[in-house]
């Protein structure tokens, strides 16, 4: 599919994650071959889509760059001519460190972006939710943008969205779309999921794309679901429910410039005073 000017069709794949890595890969390949993405430009996957979201399992499922899951995404992007924002998978480097990593591929299957989750999800939410990614994962040390035929885009992963800098720095680097593959839970999802995506979209006057895994009450970690796309005015233009499926949204990059011209937040920043001084 060729580019349609400044309009882009994005598909969020709200995938039900299985225990078998290769079943997850096969399910995605079958979905890509089903024709449901024929009129789509970009396919977005959820966080940790090839393995259960369980800290002690991340090293077991981890694979190096250009491993089997990487190869499957690259091959599918090249065969279909679609960009793939590859959610995230556990990545192991030469030193044995494991990262929560998103790979991005262009229409030819070439890797054009790689983001390692910067902010690890270590949380003790009023006794309702306890999770510590740092038990087995190492945090990334940079934010990530990538170039497309339309514009600069960016990718963060889940907990990164909690930190304003994760969106502001890519926005200052020219990003007009930020993907955030995620797995919010049943404690934080109902109250902060939509709010977070609308908030970052409004602050930075860009599109935010959140792709979640589907909700599975029988899993050790229950994801909220509700994959979402918000526009530069903070409007939710697509939101799914909790079940497995595909959510498609068309975004218009011209609207980014319209909003930024009507409400010039970025150009009105006062960087000369953004420093707290004691008196």
Q: Does the annotation mark 27 as catalytic?
A: no
Is the CATH code 3.40.50.300 the one for domain 7-262? no
Q: What was the pLDDT predicted at 5? A: 76
Q: What was the pLDDT predicted at 85? A: 98
Residues of the chain with pLDDT under 70: 1-4, 124-130
- Phi, psi at residue 18, to the nearest 5°? -105, 165
Q: What was the pLDDT predicted at 102? A: 98
Q: Which of 158, 176, 239, 242 is catalytic?
A: 158
**Residue extents of the structural domains in the chain:** 7-262
Q: Does the annotation mark 158 as catalytic?
A: yes
Q: What was the pLDDT predicted at 134? A: 83
Q: What was the pLDDT predicted at 221? A: 86
β-pairing, 98-105 vs 83-85, is antiparallel
Q: Which of 16, 21, 47, 82 is catalytic?
A: 47
Q: What was the pLDDT predicted at 1? A: 45
Q: Which of 21, 114, 117, 176 is catalytic?
A: 117
Q: Does the annotation mark 16 as catalytic?
A: no
DSSP 8-state symbol, 12: E
- What does the block give as tokens for 2? 């060729």
Q: What was the pLDDT predicted at 240? A: 98
């Amino acid at each position: 599919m060729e580019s349609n000017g400044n309009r882009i069709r994005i598909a969020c794949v709200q995938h039900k994650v299985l225990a078998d890595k290769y079943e997850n890969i096969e399910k995605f390949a079958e979905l890509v071959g089903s024709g449901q993405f024929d009129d789509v430009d970009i396919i977005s996957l959820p966080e940790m889509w090839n393995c259960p979201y369980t800290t002690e399992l991340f090293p077991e499922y981890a694979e190096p760059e250009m491993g089997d899951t990487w190869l499957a995404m690259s091959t599918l992007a090249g065969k279909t001519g679609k960009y793939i924002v590859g959610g995230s998978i556990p990545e192991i480097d030469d030193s044995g460190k494991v990262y929560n990593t998103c790979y991005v591929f262009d229409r030819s299957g070439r890797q054009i972006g790689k983001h390692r989750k910067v902010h690890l999800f270590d949380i003790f939410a009023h006794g309702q939710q306890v999770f510590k990614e740092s038990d087995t994962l190492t945090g990334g040390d940079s934010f990530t943008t990538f170039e497309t035929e339309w514009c600069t885009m960016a990718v963060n992963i889940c907990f990164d969205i909690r930190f304003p800098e994760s969106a502001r720095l890519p926005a200052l680097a020219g990003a007009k779309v930020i993907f955030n593959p995620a797995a919010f839970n049943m404690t934080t999802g109902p109250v902060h999921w939509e709010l977070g995506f609308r908030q970052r979209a409004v602050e930075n006057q860009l599109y935010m794309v959140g792709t979640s895994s589907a909700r599975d009450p029988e899993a050790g970690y229950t994801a909220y679901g509700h994959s979402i796309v918000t526009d530069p005015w903070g409007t939710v233009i697509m939101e799914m429910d909790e079940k497995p499926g595909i959510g498609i949204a068309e975004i218009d990059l011209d609207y980014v410039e319209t909003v930024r011209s009507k409400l010039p937040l970025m150009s009105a920043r006062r960087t000369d005073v953004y420093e707290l001084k004691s008196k």
